Structure 1
Amino acid sequence: MDVQFFWVDVFATTALAGNPLALVPDADALPDETMQAIAREFNQSETTFVVRPERPGADQRLRSFTPAGVEVFGAGHNAMGAWIWLAQSGRLDPDRDTFVQQIGDDLLKVRVSGRSSTGAQVSMEQSAPRFLGRVEDREALAAVLGLRAEDLAGDRVAEVASTGAEHLLVPVGSIEAVDAAQPDTAGLRKLLAEAGAEGCYLYTVALDPAAGVSASARFFNPTVGIAEDPATGTAAGPLAAVLVRDGLVPDHGRIVIEQGRRLGRPSRILLSVDGPLVTITGTGILAAEGVLHL
């Protein structure tokens, strides 16, 4: 069996930036174990497979796996990269700009605009925000992140939040603290399990307003085998909801989260929050394509 694949750099305007996604379309014939093996082969934070939807009203169904074989849900770069490719490949009805994607049991709206032979802009709804609990032990939290307790933001508390995937959002007091983090993988995995979270989003809002950025962040997810991710839509969504809830952004319609700078893959994730509706917007570049011989 020959299986075609594509490589999309998501949240990027040039190749070799943003967050790379391996994408396999027309994947209905692939059993789960083959999808998991392909994800291991590509060894990216996620590999997404496009399959026929199971639920009425869905236009596409997406399944995403990490290199550890874990299926992940939520509408982040794993979904955005798929829709960028669908738009660029001509597989979407040109008379429509709104579609529905099935991810797990969720049906989520997608809007595709600015389609061309080189890409598109994609806006995706995420699940309604849920705020699921706090991590109060500052000493233990700082230790597993390789930081000092005083590096954590003094006026804010780490908390688990979700717009489709549960992540621990950890506020620190400066961009220097964000850059300095060196997580203890085993310790962080244990702390995340105790908190009921999948990954850890370390962020700061202590930034120069002239930069046009609402927060700068890094994402660590040892739970599913991701050492560090350069752009994480499923973590940016709940962070945007928290920033709006706590009055930390002046414009709820334009929230910009910077990520990936430390990895040399700078990304900017654009979000809006309107009550329970969180929308994430981005672009991407088709960077490569090929064929797997299985």
Structure 2
Amino acid sequence: MNYTYYIADVFTKTVFNGAQVAVFPEAEGLSAQQMSLIAKELNLTETVFLSNKEGQENYFRMQIFSPLGEIDFAGHPIIAAAYVLAACNKLSLQDTYTPVVFAQNTGDIQTSITSSNGQPSFIQFTRTVSPVVDYYTPPESELASFLGIDEAHIDSKKYCTRLVSCGMPYLIVPVYYYQTVRDAVFNLSAWSQSLAPQTAAQEILLVSPKTPYQDSDFAARLVGPNIGVHDDPPVGSAIPSLAAYLCSFDHMQKGTYTFSVQRGDEKMRRSVLNLEMDHKGEDSLTVRVGGEAVKVAEGTMVIPEA
């Protein structure tokens, strides 16, 4: 059978920037094994497969695969899927806001599409998480060693390193300077000799409150033992943990906060993720993540029947 798919660049409005996500908007009939093979064939960070759930309008089953296997939750696919559905007339846009629900393996994700002149202009999804914050982290000398950065550049005044999990643990390391985020080089040998592997986190989120771009408040980058030394992977799945991290500090007063996080740079597929969080000092935290997208490719894949 023939299946149409689209490739969208996510958290950007400029082609060849942001994160590449492939979307199959009508994936009914594909098995999980076929989806896995398709994801390996396309070899993108994430490939999304949608099917209309129980015939309900604007309600879709979403399955996400990387070349390595299925993913239970990811943020970039939500933005990509909503954009493709709207831009390719797979759902009817309302005047201003159009609600859509994606059923991922972790549960239903409430999403809204903002449209202008009949085209999607901004997509935002809402997620309520129950974060776990651990204050036990490796000493700064070890952090600096396996991150390949100057120990003096690690922020221990306004922020400090913490382990945060909203389902997947991230070791979040704050640094003073944007360039430190960009220049970090992960050292697997130093990592193996440190206390870090005992934290269960396999990904480190470097964060700086300084960025040279006017449209972002934080710069972020993921590194780790399973990430290529020179790679700069999407950070969407880590954003709820970043929100929980910020809320874990006493100087963050209760309220609703809005800010933007940038990943990459002008030479490496820059993304801008918009985040809202409702800090109420409770065990649960509601975050809203939004951004833009742009279609860059459309194709047809011929899939043999299972």
Same fold (TM over 0.5): yes
Return the offset for 1:184: 3.1
Name the SS for the 1:36 alignment partner: helix
Name the SS for the 1:79 alignment partner: helix
The worse-fitting range, judged by mean Cα deviation, of 270-279 and 245-254 is 245-254
Name the SS for the 1:29 alignment partner: coil
State the distance in 1 between where 2:210 and 2:140 align.
19
Report the TM-score, using the length of structure 1 for normalisation. 0.85
Indicate the residue corresponding to 2:282 in structure 1. none
More helix by share: 1
State the distance in 1 between where 2:197 and 2:36 align.
23
Return the offset for 1:212: 4.9
Q: Deviations over 1:57-81 (max 9, x none)?
A: 9811211122222x22334112111
Q: Percent identity?
A: 24
Return the offset for 1:147: 2.1
Q: Deviations over 1:127-161 (max 9, x none)?
A: 32503324233333322222233332223332232
> If you compute each CA radius of gyration, which structure gives the higher value, 1 or 2?
2
Indicate the residue corresponding to 2:236 in structure 1. 233
Q: Size of the alignment, in residue pairs?
A: 292
Indicate the residue corresponding to 1:201 in structure 2. 205
Alignment equivalent of 2:268, drawn from 249, 264, 274: 264
Return the offset for 1:259: 0.9
Q: Deviations over 1:150-178 (max 9, x none)?
A: 33222333223244543322211211211
Return the offset for 1:242: 2.4
**Which structure 2 residue ranges, 5 or more long, are not aligned?**
280-284
1:148/1:226 CA distance change after superposition, 3 Å: closer
Aligned-partner residue type, residue 195 of structure 1: T
Name the SS for the 1:97 alignment partner: strand
Aligned-partner residue type, residue 144 of structure 1: F
Indicate the residue corresponding to 1:39 in structure 2. 39
CA contact (8 A) 2:10 2:79 kept: yes
State the distance in 2 between where 1:198 and 1:291 align.
36
1:196/1:52 CA distance change after superposition, 3 Å: farther
Indicate the residue corresponding to 2:77 in structure 1. 78
Indicate the residue corresponding to 2:151 in structure 1. 149
Q: Is 1:182 aligned with 2:223?
A: no
Name the SS for the 1:37 alignment partner: helix
Alignment of 1:204-223 (within 5 A): 204-207=208-211, 211-220=214-223, 222-223=225-226
1:116/1:223 CA distance change after superposition, 3 Å: farther
CA contact (8 A) 2:9 2:21 kept: yes
State the distance in 1 between where 2:134 and 2:37 align.
35
Report the TM-score, using the length of structure 2 for normalisation. 0.82
1:18/1:167 CA distance change after superposition, 3 Å: same
Aligned-partner residue type, residue 43 of structure 1: N
Name the SS for the 2:298 alignment partner: strand
Q: Is 1:289 aligned with 2:291?
A: no
Alignment equivalent of 2:169, drawn from 146, 163, 166: 166
The RMSD of aligned alpha carbons is 3.2
1:34/1:199 CA distance change after superposition, 3 Å: farther
1:62/1:116 CA distance change after superposition, 3 Å: farther
Indicate the residue corresponding to 1:125 in structure 2. 126
Return the offset for 1:217: 1.0
State the distance in 1 between where 2:266 and 2:16 align.
14
